[in-house]
Amino acid sequence: MGGGTILVVEDEPLILLEIETALEEAGFTVLSSRNAEEALSAFDAKPEKFKALITDIRLGPGKSGWDLARLVREANPTMPVIYVSGDSAIHWPAEGVPNSIMIAKPFFMPQVITALATLLNEQPPVAKN
């Protein structure tokens, strides 16, 4: 029944673990990454494998979550995007992509599950090959 993989990017190991565990308990398949470059490598290797992106904004040196989401959306314009951030949430109206969801930290885990399920349900149907 697995509908692909959710790409989760977060540089704080404890929060990453918490999100990963909650998604897997809810039945999602997860590929997690601690920075944007690693996430992009995984995505570029097999873009059609990923069904959604959940990303923190500040990811240490290198690309931010804003950059990552734009790159992923250039490749897949209908990819669901969820940002999870504390200090950077206020920049979402300027830096976020259209039809994305910003979840401000601290948050409750059902917010992530519901955001993900809602965006997946809004995906336009496509022909199967």
Pick between residue 63 and residue 73 the one whose CB is nearest to a second copy. 73
Nearer to a second copy, 34 or 117 (CB): 117
Q: How far is the CB of 40 from a second copy (least distance, A)?
A: 14
Question: Residue 96 is encoded by which pair of tokens?
Answer: 């976020």
As measured in angstroms, the least distance from the Cβ of 5 to a second copy is 10
> Largest alpha-carbon pair distance within the chain?
42
CB of 77 to a second copy, least distance (A): 4
Peptide bond into 106 cis (omega under 30): yes
Is the Cβ of residue 4 or residue 60 nearer to a second copy in the bound state? Answer: 4
CA 121, 80, 113, 84: dihedral to nearest 10 degrees?
A: -160
Q: How far is the CB of 86 from a second copy (least distance, A)?
A: 6
Residues that bind a second copy (CB under 8 A): 1-4, 15, 18, 22, 26-29, 69-71, 73-74, 77-78, 86-87, 89-111, 113-118, 120-121, 123-128
CB 11 within 8 A of CB 36: no
Are 64 and 38 within 8 A, CB to CB?
no
